[in-house]
A and B are shown apart, each in its own frame.
Chain A
Amino acid sequence: MTTPDRAVILSGSGRPAATRRRPWRTEWLVLPVVVFFALFVLLPIAMLVAISLSQSMTVHALTLAHFVRFFSDGLSLPVLGRTLQLGCETSLLTLLLSYPIALVFNAASPRWQRVLIFLIVLPLLTSAVVRTFAWVVILGREGLANLALNHLGLADAPMRLLYTEPALVVALAQIELPLMTLPIIASLSTIDPRLREASLALGGGHWGTLMRITLPLSLPGVIAGVLLVFASACSAIITHSIVGGGRLLFMPLYIYQQGLQAQAWPFAAAISLCLLVAILSLVVLVNTLGRYLTRYAYA
């Protein structure tokens, strides 16, 4: 109800009547997306549901056995839990790293902003495989991190860094960093600088202004960033297998293993759906929470 009014106000033009006269023009533009979405997203998901409910690829009897197995085999649920945990930890670390970068960017002169945006986007321009392998070089037994620790006398024997979960979180956080930084920058740049100045002038202090003005007003960007990083950290199969190694099992590799190696398609489909539902629920939850917080911030 409020959205169209707001759109008119935001567009700031006196031509709402013109667009109202022929509304079908804009609506038809949505059609290709709808068709694309139906063909390549909804249809595959429907197929996935159908496969997950069939006994096996040859016996087409309906069964819930694969979902029962998922919830009762004592392996699948922990794998799902660990995957979601990995997503949460990565999102949190990425947020802690990104927010200061975004603040620095926002405060920088336009000339420096050009340099900074290049540095922020740079990781996106190299392949995920290359970025991931860099972490192998850093964290390996004879890698940079262990060499540094050894030279500083902090460790006698090489420490086991690679193939551990904390290492994976750190690597993912670095790899996903632009996905978090860019939405926050976008969000920060829409904040009227006078609000900050007013807060400072009225004795809000730098810390108080950050916590009570800047942070709440940038929440939409933070939420967008968290969702992007969460979803991509949960599905980063390349990084999971290269930095996590073969011993840490997360959902994408589990699906790959069951689908392509064990050839248990119905079970792989069931796992995929469980991951999909779990991530969607978390996304909806964060979104709802975010909307509530944003409304509170703007009130």
Chain B
Amino acid sequence: MTQFRPSRRDFLSASAATMVAAGAGTRARAAGSLVATTYPGSWEAAHRSILVPAFTKATGAGVSLQTVQALEAITKITASRDNPPFDVVILDEGPYLAALDLDIFAPMPPSKVKNLAEVPERFIDPNGYGAFVSAQILGIVYNPAKIKTPPTSWLDLWKPEYKGRVGITGLASSLGTAWLVEIAKLHGGSEANLEPGFEAINKLLPNVGAVAPNPGALATLFQQGQIDISFNYLNSVLPLASRGVDIAIAKPDSGWVLIRNSMHVIKNTANYDLACEYIDTALSTEVQGKMASAPNYLASTNKQVPFQSELAKVAKDNEALSHLTLIDWKTINPIRSALIERFNRDVRI
């Protein structure tokens, strides 16, 4: 919700949303400070309380954190390449790979980011444009107060007893797209053949109680009692559970799904060295250890950080983590806007 910044009455800016993107690049910024993106929710909280203070302590520079979803961050950068609105961005695998063709990233040599040495090979970007700082773990989310037997399969969402109790979100997010891929696979499809997934979603519609406009809103629907079963990331669910919300996450029998999150330095940034140091700090054992503990549970990609408590239930270490189901984003990316369009037609009324 935080990304809907245009004022309500500002009719022109709302009707010309692309102009908002164009204007973003002209934002003035203070010297010796970095502009970095983060995701809304637990990411922002963790970055603000852990990563930013550690970075400021190490370098003396300040950080202006902006909550921007991956696809939107890329759009805003391409709108203003010469004077990019951000120095560092956080992205999901899919949008990152799609953006490789756009030539918006600055190379990031290991000499600039010493902590890359602590990251196992499967979490290092083979293109040399960034580093995977975490990975989100996708599972079945349910309300343990209403659903006594934990669900075991994605197909449980189709059970007739959950009529009007299921929550989903659209395909502009990695969350919704990865889930669609898993559903398609369960019905004989794949990344290249998502038709079975769409057919299954159409059959799910009588059960759907709410379609969240974005992944952040999907988790809060449990808080409002609007839905009882859905899908989401471990790191979105556990912070809510620790605050007393009736919400829990279960492993689907088809396996946890992993969506890797990467940080990148943007080409033409005026703060190249600071930006590299920011990513270096994000990979440090200290920051990764704090991000991975309660209440955020953002999985670590640093070998030195042991997997504890809730994360240990998913994988014993980050080597095991890296072997969870990965989605083939290279196949998805070319058809991404067609998927968004198809979801508009099938689900939105």
CB-CB nearest in chain B for A261: B172
A53 interface residue, CB < 8 Å from B? no
Once the chains bind, are A259 and B75 in contact (CB under 8 Å)? yes
Shortest Cβ gap from B13 to chain A (Å): 9
Of B7, B78, B172, B214, which one neighbours A262 at CB under 8 angstroms?
Answer: B172
Residue-wise, chain B 14-38 has the 8 Å CB interface mask toward A (1 for contact) of 1111110110000000000000000
B72 touches A238 (CB 8 A): no
Contact A253 B18 (CB under 8 A): no
Residues of B within 8 A of A256 (CB): 4, 17
Of all chain B residues, which has the CB nearest A172?
Answer: B8
User: Measured between alpha carbons, how far is A162 from B348 in the docked complex, in Å?
Assistant: 15
Q: Is A199's beta carbon under 8 Å from chain B?
A: no
Q: Does A55 contact B (CB under 8 A)?
A: no
**CA distance in complex: A140, B167 (Å):** 14
Name the segment of B154-162, B256-264, B322-330, B333-341 touching the other chain.
B333-341
Q: Is the CB of A259 within 8 A of B18?
A: yes
The answer to whether A141 and B16 touch across the interface, beta carbons within 8 angstroms, is no
Flag if A247 contacts B347 (CB, 8 Å).
Answer: yes
* Contact B172 A257, beta carbon cutoff 8 Å: yes
Q: How many interface residues does B have (CB within 8 Å)?
A: 48
Instruction: Kindly provide the distance from the CB of A238 to the nearest chain B CB, expressed in whole angstroms.
Output: 5
Interface residues of A, count at CB 8 A: 55
**A41-B12, A235-B11, A235-B15 in contact; A263/B74 too (CB < 8 A)?**
yes
CB A108 to nearest CB in B, in angstroms, measures 27
How far apart are A119's CB and chain B's nearest CB, in angstroms? Answer: 20
Binds B, one of A25-33, A189-197, A215-223, A264-272: A264-272
B16 touches A48 (CB 8 A): yes
List the one stretch of B44-52, B205-213, B288-296 in contact with chain A. Answer: B205-213
Q: Is A238 within 8 A of B8, CB to CB?
A: yes
Q: Contacts A235-B14, A237-B4, A253-B213 given: A246-B21 contact, CB under 8 Å?
A: no
> Cβ of A231 and Cβ of B11 under 8 Å apart?
yes
Chain B contacts for A232, CB-based, 8 A: 8-9, 11
Q: Is A275 an interface residue (CB 8 A)?
A: yes
Residues of B within 8 A of A238 (CB): 1, 4, 8
Would you call A45 an interface residue if the criterion is a C-beta within 8 Å of the partner chain's C-beta atoms?
yes
Query: Residue B226 at the A interface, CB < 8 A?
Result: yes
In the complex formed, the residue of A with least CB distance to B74 is A263
When chains A and B are docked, how far (Å) is the Cα of A247 from the Cα of B221? 14
- B139 in the interface, Cβ–Cβ < 8 Å? no
The answer to whether B72 and A261 touch across the interface, beta carbons within 8 angstroms, is yes
Within 8 A of B (CB), among A232-248: 232, 234-239, 241-242, 245-248
Is residue B193 within 8 Å, beta carbon to beta carbon, of the partner chain? Answer: no
Output the residue of B18, B170, B210, B344 with the most chain A CB within 10 A: B18
Do residues A247 and B21 form an inter-chain contact, with CB atoms below 8 A?
no
1/0 contact trace for B200-229 toward A, CB 8 Å?
000000001111111001000000111000
Binary interface profile of A, 153-171, with partner B (CB < 8 Å = 1, else 0)?
0000000101100000000
CB-CB under 8 A from A257, the residues of chain B are: 172, 340, 344
- Establish whether residues A129 and B1, one from each chain, have CB atoms under 8 Å apart when the complex forms: yes
- Give the distance to chain A from B9, nearest Cβ to Cβ, in Å: 5
On chain B, the residues within 8 Å of A260 by CB distance are: 17-18, 21, 71-72, 75-76
Q: Are B213 and A265 in contact, CB atoms less than 8 angstroms apart?
A: no
Q: In whole Å, how far is B71's beta carbon from the nearest beta carbon of chain A?
A: 5
A269 to B4, CA, bound (A): 18
Given contacts A163-B210, A242-B1, contact A51 B18 (CB under 8 A): yes
Contact of A247 among B15, B164, B349 (CB under 8 A): B349
The smallest beta-carbon distance between B341 and chain A, in angstroms, is 7
Contact A246 B212 (CB under 8 A): yes
Q: A57: nearest residue on chain B (CB-CB)?
A: B78
A179 to B170, CA, bound (A): 33
Measured between C-beta atoms, what is the minimum distance from B337 to chain A in Å? Answer: 4
Q: Does A282 contact B (CB under 8 A)?
A: no
* Contact indicator B226/A252 (Cβ below 8 Å): no
Which B residues touch A143, using CB under 8 A?
224
CB distance from A69 to the nearest CB of B (A): 10
* B340 nearest CB across to chain A (Å): 5
A129 CB to closest chain B CB, in angstroms? 7
Is B128 in the interface zone, CB < 8 Å from A? no
Say how far A272's CB is from chain B's closest CB, in angstroms. Answer: 5
Distance between Cα atoms of A128 and B7 in the complex (Å): 8
Query: Roughly how many angstroms separate A5 CA and B320 CA in the complex, as a whole number?
Result: 85
Which residues of chain A (246-293) have a CB below 8 Å from chain B?
Answer: 246-249, 251-257, 259-265, 268-269, 272, 275-276, 279
Question: Which A residues are CB-close (under 8 A) to B226?
Answer: 140-141, 162
Query: Residue A202 at the B interface, CB < 8 A?
Result: no
B71 touches A263 (CB 8 A): yes
Which residues of chain A have C-beta atoms less than 8 A from B76's C-beta?
Answer: 260
**B188 at interface by CB-CB < 8 Å:** no
Chain B hits for A252, CB < 8 A: 14-15, 17
Mark each residue of chain A from 80 to 123: 1 if its CB lies under 8 Å from any CB of chain B, else 0. Answer: 00000000000000000000000000000000000000000000
CA distance A154 to B31 in the complex (A): 62
Most A CB within 10 A of own CB, among B15, B22, B74, B347: B15
A16 lies within 8 A of chain B by Cβ: no
Interface bits B291-311 vs A (CB < 8 Å: 1, else 0): 000000000000000000000
Which residues from chain A sit less than 8 Å from chain B, CB to CB?
41, 44-45, 47-48, 51, 57, 75, 128-129, 136, 140-143, 160, 162-163, 175, 179, 231-232, 234-239, 241-242, 245-249, 251-257, 259-265, 268-269, 272, 275-276, 279
Using A57-B78, A262-B341, A279-B15 as known contacts, list a sample of 14 further A-B pairs with CB atoms less than 8 Å apart, ordered by residue number in A: A44-B19, A140-B226, A141-B224, A175-B8, A238-B4, A242-B213, A247-B211, A247-B347, A249-B349, A252-B15, A254-B344, A260-B76, A263-B75, A263-B337
9 smallest A-B Cβ distances: which pairs?
A: A246-B211, A262-B337, A142-B225, A261-B172, A235-B14, A247-B211, A246-B213, A249-B348, A241-B213
